[in-house]
A and B are shown apart, each in its own frame.
Chain A
Amino acid sequence: MGKKEMKALSAVSHFVYNCRKCGLCGSKCTAKLPYVCPIKEATGGFEHSSARGKIILAQGLLEGKITPSRELAEIIFHCTLCGNCQTQCGSIDNATGLPLVDTPRIIEAIRADLLREYPEFIDRAYQTMITSTSQYDNPWGISRATKERWPKGLSLKDAQNESHEVLLFAGCTIPSNPSLESRARKAALILKKAGVDFAVLGRKEPCCGSVQKRVGAIDLAQEMMKNNITLLNNLGSSTIITLCAGCYHMLKHDYQTAGTPLKPKVYHFVEFLSQLIKKGKLPFKKKKTLTVTYHDPCHLGRTMRIFDPPREILKALPGITLVERVATRENTICCGAGGGMRILEGGILAEEIGKAALEMVRDAGAEALVTACPFCELNLEAAAKNLVSPLAVYDITDLVSECSGGEE
């Protein structure tokens, strides 16, 4: 170990030593699982690219056999944190039902230690992201005013000043991308049509802290969680709906560790939407003939086990035929954007990983891929541009909006 302490890693050292180094996390292959680790698949395939290799490095750090370095940081940040390795490991503590080896937590811990003690080794893209959070309260460096652009003209309730049941939480990624901005509008219009009493925060909407936590800025993320819980608990909302899988995972899962409970119930848009459809509150007026497959976002599917609601929605849409590809549900293959990979090295590797996910779509006989996460959509769209023949990528909100009459 270096002179500085690897505090966060030491705190999860039991996960490191519980690993038997069997290699299942890098080599498992079944009819439903073409491969486990997207990084291993998209690179030279050396052991350090997979979970076993990274855990061996973690053990090396704990035992002082290796020391933190720029090269180590590069390896540790080459991980999408998709969690497929942990799922396929399947090693569970019989007493608690919890995983014996939590690889994403090991990676996040090393990132946290590197960021805190050895910031000089960290890629500048992450430093910029953290600075942006401090300056603009979002990781992408957009002005706060950008977040009030998408609701313009929709006459939506202001969550801080008007009573409401549901808070629509758009997140940072959707408002900051012109190609995604309409997604939030479409979601709001769908909720309006269904008669949902909801409000938005506009420029006051905070960043949830997910991206910061994933890249290791845990102190910053902790502070954001604390502040956000105070803000969100004081709004009087009974429910929060997120449009982003990352926000959903963060608010629903990570916020449980913050000390103070988050009072409103948290749902992803697809969960809420599938309930509205089941209750007959969202009639569909238009038919869209398309064969699609659904890409389970890691943060929504594998981590939070939201598998059925998006499929129920797609099956309910007139003209839509849903086919399943391999690597679906808990075996889903990461789009490539997770764990901060989208901003690393200009996203080249992220797109390479995304291409592999898209090739499975064609094999399934689908014309288009549908997902429910802006990160997945952005990365898969970028990857699709590099395909020989184009493939459409949709967010599920697009299709629901279209079938329910769009902005009519």
Chain B
Amino acid sequence: MSLKLAKGLLQKLRDIVGDKYITSEPLATFVYSQDASVFGGTEAELVIRPGSTDEVSRILHLANEHRNPVIVRGGGASIYGQPKGSPGSNLLLDMTRMNRILEIDHESMTVSAQCGIIMGKLQHPCRQAGFYLFCPFAPLQIVSLGGWISGAAGGGGIWRDIISLTVVLPDGTIVKTGGGPGSNINQHLFYNRNLGGPDFTGLFIGDGGSFGVKTEATLRLTRFPEVMRASIFQFHDLGKVLEMIKRHVECVDPHPFYPIMVFGSGAMRNFMPDIGEGDSFVVMGMMQGHVTQEMDAKLDVLHALGEALGGQRNPALDAMAAAMAASSSSESETMMDWLSFFNALGLACWLPFTLPRRGFAENYQKLISWRQKRLEQAEQRGYRCGGTFEFFTPPDQSTIIGEIDIFFQGTPSPEMFAFVRSTMYAFQEYSHQLGSIDVYNQGMMSNLHARLWSPGFRQLYQTIKSALDPNGILNPDLWVHEQSNFKER
């Protein structure tokens, strides 16, 4: 173990979590230096798997005393890497042991769980109880609840469904936001972020893990949508696709169950060989709800919109839509297959964006042109790669979230990894110029986002951070706009 870890610290930490849940074995800690991203994980000196809020509190208290950086990791599924901290003295909290569901409240329609739980494990009992946790397009089987709240939900996901958080502040103080005993509302019966003062829940959503360690959360549930309808159109004109999205948003609220998703035919060909060649747009509308007549009516609306704009249906598309409807599942369930599907496409160079609907067509074409140049550069280096694209209407109806990812085929080399890293970095720099902000708030992306902050906002962030974390121990290199070290890694 490094001399940077103070004498006696290891034993004190062992006393907190027990021998079984702490390791300083070099091979065990080495494994945490990688995650799902091309940017890598954290070089940790110690890995600890706490089992309770109290244990997290005591660990942070000790880390403060000894000035050791603490890096928090959930499912290890971030696509932008993890904070690097200070190799040699990092304590890494692997939160996935905190994976219990605490309560499903049928009457209030809420679920409370520990934040290390993987979202798929959380979704399953909710569904068994007849409920559905709306968390669209997250790879549920690999993302932890805490990681999702810290990293993705704040950027256009379902922040409004997160109604209470238990957070351990960097100094070890335990706070509960939004409702319940000891919260800023301090009433047993309330889970409501609008009541009882400032909405501190929002402070911790999308913070990347900077302000505290989320240990428990209460989320709003909806009844599981038993009725599903789907329709798929093919368009050759982006303008028509965007017009369809616009009209759909105007007449059907896409939240929580009616997204319009647009895919490139290249990606869809794996599912539908008959889709045909060319850069067409496959527009999928999914309606999920509780009343058959309502869903049929919404399907009629979608059909009318698609047909009015010249969208094409064909037997292959109709069969796919029928299969989706017959599955009676939510999009969350289909995401499991999406993950395996994407993994099979090759080494992913994720190029996500969130752009306003206004001016989308022009900006989208610019992004596509940018990617085309990058694809040519990749080919010059001898890489075989292909692009996909997809975009959809998030709950925030004024924007469109999408990705124009590149998948590199063949066995990846270190040079290929470096090229992917630099492409992801450069894409975000470029898309920011067009007004895009990505939904993720982790690793490299937090640093990129911080560059765009106004001086006032930066000062506000730094004031809050230094008040909560005076020693700067918790996920220390997040939101540090001066650093661009992710680019070089």
Contacts and interface: CB of A to CB of B under 8 A. Distances in A.
B344 A48 contact: no
Nearest to B121: A29
- What size tier do the contact residues of chain A reach? 35 or more
A101 to B, nearest CB: 8
A322 B100 CA distance: 31
A20 B36 contact: yes
Contact of A27 (B23, B34, B75, B347): B75
A238 interface: no
B31 A56 contact: yes
Contact of B30 (A13, A66, A100): A66
Most central of B34, B124, B128 by chain A CB within 10 Å = B34
Interface in A1-50: 13-14, 17-18, 20-24, 27-31, 43-48
A100 B127 CA distance: 31
A128 B344 CA distance: 41
A92 B96 contact: no
Contacts of A43: 20
Nearest to B47: A46
A57 interface: yes
Interface string A35-75: 00000000111111000110011011001011001011001
B21 A44 contact: yes
B172 interface: no
Interface residues of B, number: 43
A262 B128 CA distance: 49
A369 interface: no
B340 interface: yes
A193 B124 CA distance: 48
B32 interface: yes
Contacts of B139: 22
A48 B31 contact: yes
Contacts of A20: 36, 343, 347-348
Contacts of A24: 141-142, 339-340, 343
A91 B347 CA distance: 12
A45 B96 contact: yes
A30 B33 CA distance: 28
A60 B75 CA distance: 21
A12 B30 CA distance: 21
Contacts of B75: 23, 27
Nearest to B23: A46
B142 A22 contact: yes
24 contacts: A13-B411, A18-B411, A20-B348, A22-B77, A23-B36, A23-B142, A27-B96, A28-B120, A28-B142, A29-B118, A29-B124, A43-B20, A44-B21, A47-B31, A47-B32, A56-B31, A56-B34, A63-B414, A75-B27, A89-B343, A92-B340, A92-B344, A93-B344, A100-B343
Interface of A: 13-14, 17-18, 20-24, 27-31, 43-48, 52-53, 56-57, 59-60, 63, 65-66, 69, 71-72, 75, 89-94, 100
